[in-house]
Amino acid sequence: MHTNDEDQLNKQKEVHQEVDDATQIKYFGGHEYDGIKELDNPLPPWLKYLFYVTIVISFSYLILLFVFEDEDIVQKKEYRKEMMAAKAKTDVAVSEEATKTATAAPLTEEQILAAGKVIFDKTCLVCHGKFGEGLVGPNFTDEYWIHGGKPEDLLKVINEGVIEKGMISYKSQLNKTQINNVIAYILSLQGTNPPNPKAPQGEKIVKN
Amino acid sequence: MELQKFSYDNRMTRNFAIATIVWGVVGLLAGLLIALQIFIPWMNFGLEFTTFGRTRPVHTNAVIFAFVGNAIFTAVYYSLQRLLKTRMYSELLGKIHFWGWQSIIVAAAITLLAGFTTGKEYAELEWPIDIAITLVWVVFGWNMFGTILQRRTSHIYVSIWFYIATWVTVAVLHIFNSLAVPVSFLKSYTLYAGVQDALVQWWYGHNAVAFFLTTPFLGMMYYFVPKVSGRPVYSYKLSIVHFWSLIFLYIWAGPHHLLYSSLPDWLQALGTTFSVMLLAPSWGGMINGLLTLRGAWDKVRRDPVLKMFVVGITAYGMSTFEGPLLSFKTVNAISHFTDWTIGHVHIGALGWNGLLTFGMIYWLIPRLYNTKLYSTKLANVHFWIATLAIVFYAVPLYIGGITQALMWKQFTPDGFLMYPNFLETVAQLIPMYTIRAFGGFLYVAGFLILVFNVVKTIQAGSFVYEEEAQAPALEVLPDGKTSSESGHRFLERKPIRFLIVATIVILVGGIVEVIPTYLIKSNIPTITSVKPYTPLELQGRDIYVKEGCYNCHSQMIRPFRSETERYGEYSKAGESVYDHPFQFGSKRTGPDLAREGVKTGKNYKPNSWHYNHFIDPQKMNEASIMPAYPWLAKKEIDIQSTPGKIRAMKLLGVPYPDNYERQAIADLKAQADSIAKDLATAGIQTDSNREIIALIAYMQRLGIDIMNKPVKK
């Protein structure tokens, strides 16, 4: 019985032992499904080697992580490394900047205001309005100030923030020159009468 | 040998084919709509139902489960009968499968637009629909295996291997990812929390790509490419190797969606490495498809169907090359959260799934209707428009994605972010979004040409309900393996054994990755200061999920200097342990919100800012592309649902005090009142029972648990 079946399978194989005309490749005997035949091509060698290479890469990667706890794979280490490198670079840059500022010619009033406006448009307008007319934050164009209207008052607010009101500290986002420029710009807005001004808040402080 | 006469049932094939076309129109139009909404904020037309957060899941679900899903069933119901020389097992099961699936799609569209969602991408549907999907899927499997078992061919062809793997894996993925505790008829909380939820979700999400968009389409390719070209399959050996390696490796790759997240390093590494190893098995499929056309390239030049197949298979090769690339952490650090990912998936979706489906329809419809295609010329036009559309769609997203990522990472020499305002980086993308929408428009236009061509073809032909066929009866082969047949050849004539082996192969990866996160504590270190949400915050979180905020905002700060500078301390695994579902997000169309509530942080905004911003984002910044949510200030919080939600959370292990559900409503009201009072001091008058209050409470809670430092007043 068993051998009979085997014979049948073998016979089936022989009958279908044909060759594809176009490519001269042997068909797989007995493989025909709704007219679809299959060729007896081996795996393309380059694909096989590609597979082996990806397996080797993968295992090396896993060894780097599990055995060597590599600092470019372990996330915490990677972060620490990046922060240290950044700090070293920034320290140099800041000291260079300081010497540069000390030796550079002072900016004109116009240049300061222009630089200040750039920062204002990036940072302040979200809460104080495009023209400083006030939105969630107070209006800069009237004569009223909540935390004082002198440059040093503004400096304090920008550096430390007024957290309970939503004004965050910008110490870590703006450098000293940028803060001074934006203060100059904000103070220049007084009396500009923009559309939709927010109602005055705080005390009236008249410039001397 | 005596030939048996029987007939193939074409009804279900035709039904699924027509459903594919109908849902294709819907899914693609939804895609075009969201492509416009992403840069034109008023394109929701003031309606809550059509905001991006709700229409985007409609698009993804429609194209994946409705368009591609029906295309899969079309292919299976056509090819299975012919490859097995038998009729489908049951007409009734076929009908239940067809109408069940279409009703699920309709239910999905309605519930998603109405805001019923689990908040897990591509698995947004709520629990009653999930159960329906499971039942219909079982019916599909029943019908498929019934057919396989009554076959007249001794062995099952490679297409059917892929169908079997598809069926079992989708069942496993869907059931385990959808496990949830119901709160009400259309609201549930997923069983998993935070990092574990993310892991299970992306095990599911990635393998939805693998086993819904890839393996059934490989099965389709193995049938239709040789059929249409009249050429033999290039290599049987290759099909064995790439089939098994593909289904084994794919299941492990999910964590590559969570690189640099708070997922443990070892899981991320498995995500990376298994994605890399997937390259050759994926290309095995591409090669077997393309090389099958050896000796038929002259036909490819003339036949739009084969042209579509060639470009489709090539797109598959491109996106499966890009996939491993994106799984390297260095590349992912740039691509993740940007439009690069969207470009990547659309190469696969528009190229591989779209063009293969179009080719199949152009070939199949004339055969089902015993006529010729109305216009080969129009099919050629469609081919060119669709190919061009893919270029117009993807290229701007690659450019935009890389540009934005580089802007996020740019520092000034003195150590500040060059573009601290997120919106500046968004403004760069607007022209790219415009070109992308044009690409999408072209793709839709091409599809409408197909619709016209198909309608004309159907009108000219007459439907062949039954297709006569004949074949010898199934020959009886020895029960055991014979010495002359290979092990695999033996497996091919034992379909149930094949199913079992395939099931074991696809289970390994999931088990190895998911189980240890439960058993080994160090995977998710506990943080004692992390506390459950207050009832109001919980309600706010549910609104966040309902509005689909996660479609545009992430809650996952990666450990990069550029992110901790912009958003604050990077996210820890222990922070999201009470998050059912997790809301890490996968795309930053808007900024990350993981530390939104931290008062000493970089992004803190007062309640009044949030209020105004929800009502009218453009008032706060005219360049904003966020839609307005004015209804949040009108709709009332469903306060009565609170005790039930607390109970469900307790059931999931969230440590609320005993009997807290009785206290919850009072606590909710007290917190809401205090927020309303604070808004009043800023000049905003609102009732404290509005949804906006709950959402603000949630915003102010985000990320504060590990940042709690006394704030001086």
CATH code at position B355 = 1.20.210.10
Q: Which of A27, A56, A66, A136 to mutate to test the interface with B (most CBs of B within 10 A)?
A: A136
B551 and B493 both lie in a single domain: no
- B502 and B598 in one domain? no
Q: Within this chain, do residues B501 and B576 fall inside the same structural domain, yes or no?
A: no
Q: Which domains does chain A have, with CATH numbers?
A: 9-39 (no CATH), 109-204 (1.10.760.10)
Q: Is the domain of B539 the same as that of B507?
A: no
One domain for residues B8 and B149: yes
Report the Cα–Cα distance between both ends of chain A, in Å, rounded: 116
Please give the Cα distance from B565 to B416 (Å, whole number): 8
Is position B567 within any domain?
A: yes
Chain A residues with CB-CB distance to B272 below 8 A: 58, 61
Tell me the pLDDT band of A1, cut-offs 50, 70 and 90.
very low
Of A51, A96, A136, the CB nearest to B612: A136
Count interface pairs A-B at CB distance under 8 A: 207
**Minimal CA separation from B574 to chain A, in Å:** 15
Residue B580 within any structural domain of the chain: yes
Q: Is the distance from CB of B228 to CB of B359 less than 8 angstroms?
A: yes
Contact assignment for A65 to B283 by CB distance below 8 Å: no
- Smallest Cβ–Cβ distance between B82 and the set A34, A82, A83 belongs to A34
Report which DSSP code applies to A23: T
Contact of B684 with chain A, judged by CB distance below 8 Å, is answered with no
- In A77-116, the residues whose Cβ lies within 8 Å of chain B are 78-79, 82-83, 86-87, 89-90, 93-94, 96-97
> Percent helix, strand, coil in chain B (nearest 5)?
65, 5, 30
Whether B495 and B596 map to the same domain: the answer is no
Confidence of residue A107 (pLDDT cuts 50, 70, 90): confident
Are residues B295 and B194 located together in one domain of the fold? yes
Instruction: State whether B416 and A55 contact (CB < 8 Å).
Output: no
Domain range holding B675?
535-701
Instruction: Check residue A34 and give left, alpha or beta (phi > 0: left; psi -120 to 50: alpha).
Output: left
Element housing B167 (H / E): helix B158-178
Q: Could you give the C-alpha distances from B352 to A46, A53, B214, B225, B253, in angstroms and in order?
A: 24, 26, 9, 13, 20
User: Which tens digits make up the pLDDT trace of A124-134?
Assistant: 888 898 899 98
CB contact B528 to A (< 8 Å):
no
Q: What is the mean pLDDT of residues A135-162?
A: 89
Integer CA distances (angstroms), B120 to B177, B367, B555, in order? 9, 40, 14
Token match 């569209």: residue? B109
- In our burial notation (b when 16+ CB lie closer than 10 A, e otherwise), range A76-110 reads eebbeeeeeeeeeebeeeeeebeeeeeeeeeeeee
Establish if B477 belongs to a structural domain: no
Structure letter (DSSP) for residue B664 = H
The domain spanning residue B541 has which CATH number?
A: 1.10.760.10
| Residues in chain A closer than 8 A to B85 (CB atoms) | 34
A172 to B294: CB separation less than 8 angstroms, yes or no: no
* pLDDT value of position B713: 37
| Cβ-Cβ contacts under 8 Å, B608 against chain A | 136, 166
Closest-CA distance of chain B to residue A161, Å? 9
Task: Note the Cα A42 to chain centre separation in Å.
Answer: 46
Q: What is the ipTM of this complex?
A: 0.92
Distance from CA of A36 to the nearest CA of B (A): 6
The one-letter amino acid code at B321 reads F
- Residue B711 covered by a domain: no
Q: Taking a C-beta distance cutoff of 8 angstroms, is the pair B316, B282 a contact?
A: yes
- pLDDT band of A208, cuts 50, 70, 90: low
- Closest residue on chain A to B279 (Cα): A51
Q: Say yes or no: B477 contacts chain A, CB-CB below 8 A.
A: yes
Note the pLDDT of residue B473: 92
Q: Is A67 on the interface with B (CB under 8 A)?
A: no
**A-chain residue closest to B623, CA distance:** A126
Which chain B residues touch A97 with a CB distance below 8 Å? 413-414
Interface of B with A in 274-293 (CB under 8 A): 274, 276-277, 279-281, 283-284, 287, 291
Q: Does B324 lie at the interface with A, CB-CB under 8 angstroms?
A: yes
Put simply, the answer to whether B237 touches A41 (Cβ < 8 Å) is: yes
3-state secondary structure A28-84: EEEEEECCEEEEECCCCHHHHHHHHHHHHHHHHHHHHHHCCCCCCCCHHHHHHHHHH
Is B224 within a domain? yes
Domain count, chain B: 2
Asked whether residue B480 is assigned to any structural domain, the reply reads: no
Closest to B233 (Cα-Cα) out of B150, B152, B276, B289? B289
Task: Assess whether B503 and B641 both reside in one domain.
Answer: no
| Other Cβ atoms within 10 Å of B466 Cβ, number | 12
DSSP string, B339-399: HHHHHHHHIIIIIIIIIHHHHHHHHHHHHHTTS--S-HHHHHHHHHHHHHHHHHHHHHHHH
Domain presence at residue B595:
yes
Going from the C-alpha of B157 to that of each of A110, B76, B83, B150, B547, the distances in angstroms are 79, 12, 7, 15, 46
pLDDT block averages, 10 residues each, chain B of length 713: 91 98 98 97 95 97 98 98 97 98 98 97 97 98 97 96 98 97 96 95 95 97 97 96 97 96 96 97 97 94 97 97 96 97 97 98 98 97 98 97 96 87 92 98 98 98 96 90 91 96 96 89 87 97 97 97 95 95 96 93 88 91 92 97 97 95 96 96 93 98 82 40
What φ, ψ does residue A142 adopt, rounded to 5°? -95, -170
Say what the pLDDT of residue A5 is. Answer: 57
Task: Enter the pTM of the model.
Answer: 0.92
Tokens of B427: 């403004």
Residue B23: how many other CB atoms lie within 10 Å: 22
SS3 assignment for B199-262: HHHHHHHHHHHHHHHHHHHHHHHHHHHHHHHCCCECEHHHHHHHHHHHHHHHCCCHHHHHCCCC
Q: Is B267 on the interface with A (CB under 8 A)?
A: no
B508 and B616 co-located in one domain: no
What is the C-alpha separation between B381 and A64, in angstroms, rounded? 52
The span from the CA of A23 to the CA of B295, in Å, is 7
A118 at the B interface (CB within 8 A)? no
Cβ B419 vs Cβ B408: under 8 Å: yes
State whether B496 and B640 are in the same domain.
Answer: no
The DSSP code for B703 is T
Predicted confidence (pLDDT) at residue A180 exceeds the cutoff of 50: yes
Nearest to A9 among B482, B608, B711 (CB): B482
Q: Do B575 and B502 reside in the same domain of the chain?
A: no
* Residue B451 domain-assigned (yes or no): yes
Chain B residue with CA closest to A70: the answer is: B265
Tell whether B439 and B541 lie within a shared domain: no
Distances (CA, A) of B504 to A86, A160, B248, B277, B443: 48, 60, 9, 19, 40
Residue of B nearest to A4 (CA): B478
